[in-house]
Amino acid sequence: MKKRIHLNAFSMNCVSHIQHGLWVRDDTRQREFNRIEPWIELARLLERGGFDALFLADVIGTYDLYRGGPETAIVEAVQIPANDPMPLIPAMAMATEHLGFAFTSSVLQVPPFTFARQISTLDHLTCGRIAWNIVTSYLPNAGTNLGLGGLPPHDERYARAEEYLEVAYKLWEGSWEDGAVLCDTARGRYADPARIHPIDHAGTYYEVEGPHLSEPSPQRTPLLFQAGSSERGREFAATHAECVFMFASMRSLKASTGVVQDIRARAARRGRRPEDILFFQGVTPVVGGTEAEAEAKAADYVAQSSVEGGLAHMSGSVGVDLGAIDLDAPLASLETDAMQGVVRGLIESAPDKSLTFRDLVRSRASGQFITGTPEQIADTFQAWHEAGVDGFNIVYAVTPGTFADFIEGVVPELRRRGLVQSDYAPGTLREKLFGQARLSARHPAAAYRR
């Protein structure tokens, strides 16, 4: 297939997703997340813009580490309230024809047998437009919510994920043979029992007899996303992922291309090919008719962003309570030797030590911004694409405004350069991205096919 830039929209069924504090603005529909109409309108907008998919994030716990509790996250609506992303998909799929839908589900939250059936159902209803973002969860509250007595250790969560996927692959790929569905109305035979098999899985974490209750869906296994950045996460992505979501700062092309090269090298050692995995960089485009107009818009977003909300989110993400740090002290005055490594790294990464920690938080909030005219933003996208990034997850500052500005301004310029699609290829989401409906024979799931 011709190499092009792939585009996803990144959102979440909540009030405030990534750019915190902007939910109060009059030019955003974030507060309408409980209604279906804004989601349908967004899906139609994205399809008009030729986006490959709408990528829906999710968490199953609160950001309760900052200042010792969830109060800041609740006040700032930092991914709470947050609704389940899955029920949105059928309604949006009915309103579109080609747009894919990637949604996040933790391997901790639903037994693999139940989840496999949910995926197959959605893949049937959407004619093969489903992707799964595989996560292992990182918020301690998720573990206590699910009756696990806390979050399992990092490596144990990935061990669970490996077995979870083994069960799912057996159900999706191996339980029903090709040709098992007869739908023979003359003889009254819907399916052939000789071609439908239990999986008889007995492992460390799961025992599942099977068979899979759903007949094979258009993709069988959904398109697989993953976003782990740790050593274990990269190994997992190299083994299982078809698409990898990166969230390095847009100021560091070297960091993102380093991730691409590292995971592709790991995948090659597993018998996979570089083209088996696509890499998506997270970015917030801030588009203006002139560079000055775009800069003014970005400055307005940064000025209105919530430092407290950002700190609550960051504390949960890095696993360190940032509430004790003096926000208005110059970075040069902070005693980094006494701080945990991840916080010390944040401070030491700032070249200007006269900045305050508050400045640093705001700088990180805008670290995903690409600000400029449509031509300037297209130049940046093209440079990153030529350096090895396959696509972008567009993160909104305001919704649907961020997406609409990008589609109306930047997409026509990218199309003029032949870098993004003007029409959709036929078939399932995997066919649109990879040219094939089924997982590659080089993927570990293929080992379970009969």
pLDDT in tens, 226-262: 997 789 999 999 999 999 999 866 667 877 888 999 9
Residue 336 pLDDT? 56
341 contacts: CB under 8 Å, gap ≥ 6: none
Q: Residue 11: in which H helix or E strand, if any? A: strand 6-12
Token pair listed for 323: 């509430």
Whether 343 has a pLDDT exceeding 90, the answer reads no
443 contacts: CB under 8 Å, gap ≥ 6: 240, 242, 272, 276
Report, as an integer, the average pLDDT of 88-113: 98
Residue 44 pLDDT? 98
Contacts 24+ apart (CB under 8 A), 379-387: 380/250, 381/5, 381/410, 381/414, 381/419, 382/5, 382/414, 382/417, 382/419, 383/253, 384/253, 384/256, 384/281, 385/5, 385/419, 387/253, 387/257
136 contacts: CB under 8 Å, gap ≥ 6: 106, 107, 108, 154, 157, 158, 160, 161, 228
Q: Is 181 left (phi over 0), alpha (psi -120 to 50) or beta?
A: beta
Residue 337 pLDDT? 57
Report, as an integer, the average pLDDT of 213-227: 97
Residue 433 pLDDT? 97
Residue 242 pLDDT? 98
Residue 250 pLDDT? 60
Token pair listed for 134: 């595989």
Under the banding of pLDDT at 50, 70 and 90, the label for residue 339 is low
Element counts in the chain: helices (H) and strands (E): 16, 13
Cα(42)–Cα(49) distance, rounded to whole angstroms? 11
Give the sign of the dihedral formed by CA 393, CA 395, CA 401, CA 406: negative
Going by their DSSP bridges, the two strands 207-208 and 201-202 should be labelled as antiparallel
Under the banding of pLDDT at 50, 70 and 90, the label for residue 2 is low
For all residues of the chain together, what is the average pLDDT? 93
Cα(79)–Cα(61) distance, rounded to whole angstroms? 9
Ordered structural domains, the chain, with CATH: 6-175+214-290+369-448 (3.20.20.30), 306-365 (no CATH)
Residue 275 pLDDT? 92
Higher pLDDT, 43 or 360: 43
Token pair 């000025």: residue = 303
Token pair 């938080």: residue = 361
Whether 379 has a pLDDT exceeding 80, the answer reads yes
Candidates 28, 59, 44, 31; CA nearest to 91 is 44
CA atoms lying within 13 Å on the CB side of residue 269? 10
**Are the beta carbons of 5 and 385 closer than 8 angstroms?**
yes
Residue 16 pLDDT? 98
Lowest mean pLDDT among 135-144, 226-235, 270-279: 226-235
